[in-house]
Amino acid sequence: MRETFFMYQEEIKALKAQLDEANKLVRKITSERDEALLKLNEYEAKIRKAEKASRMKSLFLANMSHEIRTPLNAIEGFSRVIAETDSPEERMKMLEIVESNNNRLLSLINEILDLSRVEAGEIQMKKAPANLTDMCANIKQIFKFRCPEQIKLVASIPSKTVILNTDINRVTQVYCNLISNALKHTISGSITFGYKVSEDGKDIIMQVADTGSGIDPNDIDSIFQTYVSKDAEHQNGYGLGLPLSKIIVEKLGGHISVKSKLGEGSTFTFVLPFDGSFAGNNTTSKPCFTISRTLRAKADVDISKLKLVLVAEDEDCNWELIQNVLNNRYRILRAKNGIEAVTMNEEEHPDLILMDIRMPEMNGLDATRIIKEINPVIPVVALSAYAFEDTINEAMDAGCNEFISKPFKMEHLIETIEKFI
């Protein structure tokens, strides 16, 4: 009996030892599993981050393609139109448009080069005394032909001119980036830019305020990041301008911020140390003017007998070019966004629609889908600087009958229209 008891004790000890070993093994396996899961989660997080970075760079490249092709389209088109224009006044207007778009393209190329220099740590500031009021006047001149009729560009400057020891070219670049961004997101109202000295006299406060669409609170923290372009997926891109502006301001010893409210507008503020002096008094600044351009009509054309083409295009220079190309061949109406295109299609019953893809309010793809539901037989020709295969396929899937990439050849545009009407 006693021997049996001791035998059971030994078996229990052996079983406990086996159980302890099993528990150790379970704990080891559990620990290894947890470690593997942790590494897996880290790996998946890295994959998601890499995929996001790749996606944002792809969106960035798509946006840059559009930004490059848009001024190229105006330069290409108006260069041809100038050769066929006899009026010196018309030629001068067109040359000014070509020059404006050339400057726009050069500015974009410089931004891309600046970004590469920034990433290589090569960007440098060259400071010298500069008149800030003269700078504001130059900025108004830069945007003379880029400011639509429905938007007033207003310079707000103090009564005394400030001479600031800074890199004035870089400061001008920041203003131009911010104003360009405001123009993309403002349909009507005003864009006010300028500067003032802080109450304690230690800083120069520079601002660009618009009455545009505003920025989603979820996007505020990311708009100054390189390759982040919310609107590359939608309509208007932030592009490189805002990240470069932040870098430039910080290298000048300042900081930049933004306050925005959806539907009301945004105010970008960048503050630089006041290293300078005061000069003479300033005169009141006036808003920039915009040129109202009209079609050149020939007396021997019976307008009433011409086919009607609806042009959905938000860029003034592209609209001006299309007018010159199609003038006297067709009657032309303009819609500045997708919503206007849908409305004007129902009211005016055009024979054909030229549809830009990237527009405010409603993009061209959504507008085409709605229009095709109402009138499936109306020809819609996509006309866009987004010349990527995916975009072309999306346009055709939306119901477009043809896709023309910008910059386009005048002959190609006319031949395409003549295929349908």
pLDDT digits (tens, 9 = 90+) for 146-162: 788 899 999 999 988 89
Q: 333 - beta bridge partners?
A: 310
**Edge-to-edge order in the sheet of strand 203-210:** 151-156, 189-197, 203-210, 265-273, 255-261
For residues 82-95, give the mean pLDDT.
Answer: 82
Query: Is residue 225 a contact partner of residue 233, using CB atoms and an 8 Å limit?
Result: no
Half-sphere exposure of 177 (CA within 13 A, CB side): 29
CA–CA separation, 332 and 336 (whole Å): 13
Token pair listed for 284? 């009141």
Helix (H, G, I), strand (E, B) or coil at 280: strand
Overall average pLDDT of the 323-331 stretch: 89
pLDDT, tens digit, for every residue of 28-63? 888 888 888 888 788 788 787 777 666 666 666 666
Q: Which helix (H) or strand (E) holds 65?
A: helix 2-83
**Cα four-point dihedral sign 8, 10, 16, 18:** negative
List Cβ neighbours of 88 (8 Å cut-off, separation of 6 or more): none
Q: Residue 260, exposed/middle/buried by CB under 10 A (0-12, 13-18, 19+)?
A: buried
Q: Identify the structural domains of the chain with CATH numbers, from first to last.
A: 124-281 (3.30.565.10), 303-420 (3.40.50.2300)
Q: Which pLDDT score, from 0 to 100, does residue 275 have?
A: 92
* Predicted TM-score (pTM) above 0.85: no
CA nearest to 77, candidates 272, 287, 348, 319:
319
